[in-house]
Amino acid sequence: MYGPLDILSIETWILLITAILAARYYINQKYQVLKKLNIPHAPPSIFRLGNIDEMMSDLVSFFKKDLVRKKKYGKIYGTYVGVNPRITIADPEILKQIQLKEAGIFRDRQRSFSKVNGKEMNQALTSAEGDHWKRIRSTISPVFSTSKLKDMIGIMDRCTDKMVKNLHKISKDEDGKFMPTDVLSKLSLDVICSTSFNVDMHTQDDGEEPTLIKMGRKLFDIQLSKSFAFFTFFVFPSTEWIGELINYSIFPSEAVKYFAGLVDALIKNKDHDKTRVDMMTQMLNEKISEEEAKTAHKGLTRNEIVGNSIVMIMGGYETTANTMMFVIYNLASHKHEQDKCREEIKKAVEKHGGLTYEAIGTLTYLTQCINETLRVYPAVIRNSRYCEKEITIQGVTIPAGIHVDIPTYGMSRDEEYWDEPTKFKPERMEDMSKIDPIIFQPFGAGPRNCIGMRFALIEMKMAISKILLNFEVDMCPDTPEPPLEIIFKASVRPKEDFSLKVTPLNSE
């Protein structure tokens, strides 16, 4: 019979036990942070990686629990990711301080997943931090100025005309039944590639599915094989330097390499006519070296141009397509609202001689429908801010190094703020001065709001207007009744794909 001392020496056992007790003490101290701050939370456990088991039990719908937690704990509550405390705040007055007044202390969205996106995407706006983010943002912002957006209207017009042509063909060949996910994702990719790079990638053409579409879809397909690394970096963000060292990306490497190669090829083939309006040309006009970037206040390096181009494709592809899909679904299931939108669009076209930038700016009721859709089906289900310096706001102390989570889905579906929150009621968005921009923040709030917000809204209004001017949109017998159940898998999408039906108006 062997005893413990036959396996290890007494000194080794003492060191091992001391290490275990020290680790236990450290973890226990970390698990006291929220308690000391008087922030309610579920009891954490090292065996459950803090409270992360609640997320892991339902990865695609975890965000819906924010409403449950608010009812249980109130507008401020905490959670532990591993041993790292996070604070969720649904109090609009405190959030105004965080996202607006004290934005300098909460400059970054997060300090996790910023170094494990691949060398190019680590340099994108979504990952950049502090002064690095400020330089990139100030350089890219002019790309979305009013004058540049006006210049892009013609490109959007051509892309949406292709979509209308395809829908007419569907109305003849397939009795009008179509998958809005398919049609609108192809349109979105066409728009973002045409406006970003001034190239036609033929994403809406008939025939075999283009590689660009396959890779665009793959970019959002984070496989379970990546889940171990994903949760390792999520629970232990301090290990991200390892991922950065080996150029690891949580996104599918094949898709990232494809888009990085595509952007590089476009950069090399550019004739660099500085008068062109596409986003790539405007970024190339601000190109600087890695050495210059260390001290510059403006300009973009090669990796930053590539990374931000990929992020533009991601933001302009699935997120925009899914939002348009939800809008069309709402209008198909609410025919009175659809008719009202159509009449407004007709009047705007007659007054301005087409779907011009000015005409799109007058579509107030369609804007209401888009805003209400973004409330019912938010494109962003959660937002976050990283606290760089300890601060106390209205009696709530937020220590340095803490992430603050903003439950955008929870606030947009909260009965405290919205009557019948799951119902589509565009009239509630009629007077936006009565809508708290913190409770309803579909594109974020403060300096780190979505840089492409105006671009996305113009594209959506253009596409939806073209559809309604040419077609009556109806539900199919197998289309689910509202509200749709949504999930999150790299972006917000319906749990089940569905079909709609278009009938040409000129056939009446």
Annotated binding site for heme: which residue ranges?
450
Give the span between the Cα atoms of 493 and 477, in whole angstroms.
Answer: 21
Give the span between the Cα atoms of 116 and 136, in whole angstroms.
Answer: 19
Annotated binding site: which residue ranges?
450
Q: Which residue has the tokens 């592809």?
A: 317
Residues in the chain: 508
Count the neighbouring beta carbons within 10 Å of the beta carbon of residue 392: 8
SS3 of 103, please? coil
> How many angstroms separate the Cα of 403 from the Cα of each of 80, 106, 230, 232?
11, 9, 18, 17
Strands in 286-346 per DSSP E? none
Give the span between the Cα atoms of 382 and 370, in whole angstroms.
Answer: 19
Is 287 in contact with 299 (CB distance < 8 Å)?
yes
Q: Which residues contact 229 (CB under 8 A, 6 or more apart)?
A: 116, 243, 248, 250
Three-state secondary structure readout of 197-216: HCCCCCCCCCCCCCHHHHHH
Question: Given the DSSP bridges, would you call strands 396-398 and 486-488 parallel, antiparallel or unpaired?
Answer: unpaired
Give the span between the Cα atoms of 59 and 203, in whole angstroms.
Answer: 31
Q: Which residues contact 78 (CB under 8 A, 6 or more apart)?
A: 34, 37, 39, 40, 41, 85, 86, 87, 88
* Tokens read off for 176: 């009008």
* Tokens read off for 38: 């008087």
Q: Which residues contact 493 (CB under 8 A, 6 or more apart)?
A: 181, 318, 322, 486, 487
